[in-house]
């Protein structure tokens, strides 16, 4: 096609090269990536708090599942719950 270069886009660049350059324009700027000690400690406290909440929810879920399983076992042993009835 006329006006389209495959290799060596030149100083202006093709659309693909310009898009690639724009996407990685801030690649070398890591100043925003530096965190202070206070920021790190705050993030650690936040992570610990969220982790405790998740652990508590998981423990409650496990306890509910265990209670449901025990209730089901108890109903089965008592003969309640739709077991097959054998009439002779």
Per-residue pLDDT of the chain (88 residues; tens, 9 = 90+): 455 555 556 556 666 666 666 666 666 666 677 889 999 999 999 999 999 999 999 999 999 999 999 999 988 888 755 555 556 6
Q: Is residue 40 part of a domain?
A: yes
- What is the structure's pLDDT at 49? 97
Q: Is residue 52 part of a domain?
A: yes
Task: Estimate the share of the chain in helix, then strand, then coil, as percent rounded to the nearest 5.
Answer: 60, 0, 40
Q: Is residue 65 part of a domain?
A: yes
End-to-end CA distance of the chain: 90
Q: How many domains does the chain have?
A: 1
Q: Which domain holds residue 39?
A: 34-75
Q: Is residue 67 part of a domain?
A: yes
- What is the structure's pLDDT at 27? 64
Q: Is residue 25 part of a domain?
A: no
Closest CA to 1 of 11, 10, 14: 14
- What is the structure's pLDDT at 77? 87
């Amino acid at each position: 096609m006329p006006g389209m270069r495959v290799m060596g886009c030149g100083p202006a660049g093709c659309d693909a090269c310009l898009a690639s350059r724009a996407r990685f324009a801030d690649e070398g700027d890591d100043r925003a990536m530096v965190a202070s000690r206070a920021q790190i400690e705050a993030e650690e406290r936040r992570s610990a708090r969220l982790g405790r909440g998740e652990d508590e929810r998981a423990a409650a879920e496990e306890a509910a599942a265990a209670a449901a399983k025990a209730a089901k076992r108890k109903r089965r042993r008592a003969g309640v719950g739709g077991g097959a009835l054998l009439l002779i």
